Amino acid sequence: PLPTVAIVGRPNVGKSTLFNRLVGKRLALVDDQPGVTRDRREGDANLLGLEFRIFDTAGFEDEDPQTLPGRMRQQTEAAVRDADAALFLIDGREGVTPLDEEIARWLRAETTPVIVVANKAEGRAGQEGAYEAYRLGLGDPVAISAEHGEGVADLFEALRPHV
Ligand code: GDP
Ligand code: MG
């Protein structure tokens, strides 16, 4: 069986966009509206020849984005627990938010290896957000642009030891 990778993060950071890029098809619905993750949530990913099963998650897309309750969160927790690695996405343009910090606190307590990914990092604004992500305490962030396909080689290097 293929190794597994779960994508987690608060709403609207680009989880489904990254999922679609890695799977190479538009299986997950991408929307400006937070909370839009339906349809297929898993697919076979290929990242520069690295093959793994990827899971899109929606566990933090609650009515109240500042809390973490609910069934969807449990699904996300299970996906991360079962995965060989988790990609924790933040919005590199907005920087670290309180909900990012809350998710990071949870991930630090899990045993699954976590790679912090600062998405939307095209251009200078995104690079600054990536630097800020160091303070999440989950190691070196990787700056990418899921939409523009930038940072793919860095993501490959970060994931390769785990899958
Ligand atoms: P999700 O809620 O985390 O699944 O986020 P989505 O994948 O649905 O994306 C939310 C919004 O962010 C959409 O409008 C995307 O087009 C946009 N987005 C995703 N990736 C990038 C990126 O790399 N750069 C920029 N500028 N926008 C992005
Ligand atoms: Mg989504």
Per-residue pLDDT tens digits for 98-117: 999 999 999 999 999 999 99
Q: Check residue 39 and give its pLDDT.
A: 46
Query: Is the C-beta atom of 150 inside 6 A of ligand 1?
Result: no
The count of domains in the chain is: 1
Q: Could you report the per-residue pLDDT of 37-63, keeping only the tens digit for each?
A: 554 589 999 999 999 999 998 877 665
Residue 59: the pLDDT is: 72
**Ligand 1: centre distance to CA 81 (Å):** 25
ipTM, two decimals, is 0.99
| Residue ranges making up the domain that contains 57 | 4-159
1-33 per-position pLDDT tens digit: 899 999 999 999 999 999 999 998 766 666 656
* Model pLDDT, residue 28: 61
Nearest CA to ligand 1 atom 22: 120
Residue nearest to atom 24 of ligand 1 (CA): 120
Instruction: Compute the distance between CA of residue 15 and CA of residue 57 in angstroms, rounded to an integer.
Output: 8
**CATH number, domain with residue 19:** 3.40.50.300
- Which atom number of ligand 1 is nearest to the Cα of residue 32? 14
CA of 106 relative to ligand 2 center, distance in Å: 20
Q: What is the mean pLDDT of residues 75-101?
A: 94
- Model pTM? 0.91
